[in-house]
Amino acid sequence: MKVTLISIPVRDQEKALKFYTEKLGFLKKKDLPLGGGNRWLTLVSAEWQDGPELLLEPAPLHFEPCKVFQDALMEAGYPYTQFDVKDVQSEYERLRKLDVEFSMKPTEMGTVKVAVLNDTCGNNIQLVEEL
């Protein structure tokens, strides 16, 4: 068994596509219309194009419990997911220049360094560097 797809709920697929590709550097892999303005929209890491796909899921627009959960995580400041990076400080500086908002600056926590950013689509995302 292996992970091939991971969903992240987004409030606006087009806005999320722009943020995740233009700012975070992901690549669009699939973009299929599903009807009702929704798409099967997946991305992959530019560094691992054969790795798991990230589905930009419009669930908060259609499933109230997802929206409530997403709102609660944002309000509490909890990240929805994490992305590993080689150097958190460098990514933080690069993304700040692109006007990405962070709720947590790079911080060492034991064997990792983390930072938390707002993806502009309803999620906190944690960047993690293993030290």
Q: How far is 6 from 98, CA to CA, in rounded Å? A: 25
Domain limits for position 53: 5-130
Q: How many domains does the chain have?
A: 1
| Cβ atoms of residues 115 and 92 within 8 Å | yes
Instruction: Write out pLDDT tens, residues 69-113.
Output: 999 999 999 999 999 999 999 999 999 999 999 999 999 999 999
For 26-45, what is the mean pLDDT?
A: 96
User: Do 124 and 117 contact (CB within 8 A), yes or no?
Assistant: yes
- The CATH number of residue 69's host domain is 3.10.180.10
Closest to 31 measured CA to CA, from 22, 44, 48: 44
**pLDDT tens by residue, 7-25:** 999 999 999 999 999 999 9
pLDDT band at 62 (very low <50, low <70, confident <90, very high): confident
Is the pLDDT confidence value at 48 over 90?
yes
Residue 115: the pLDDT is 98
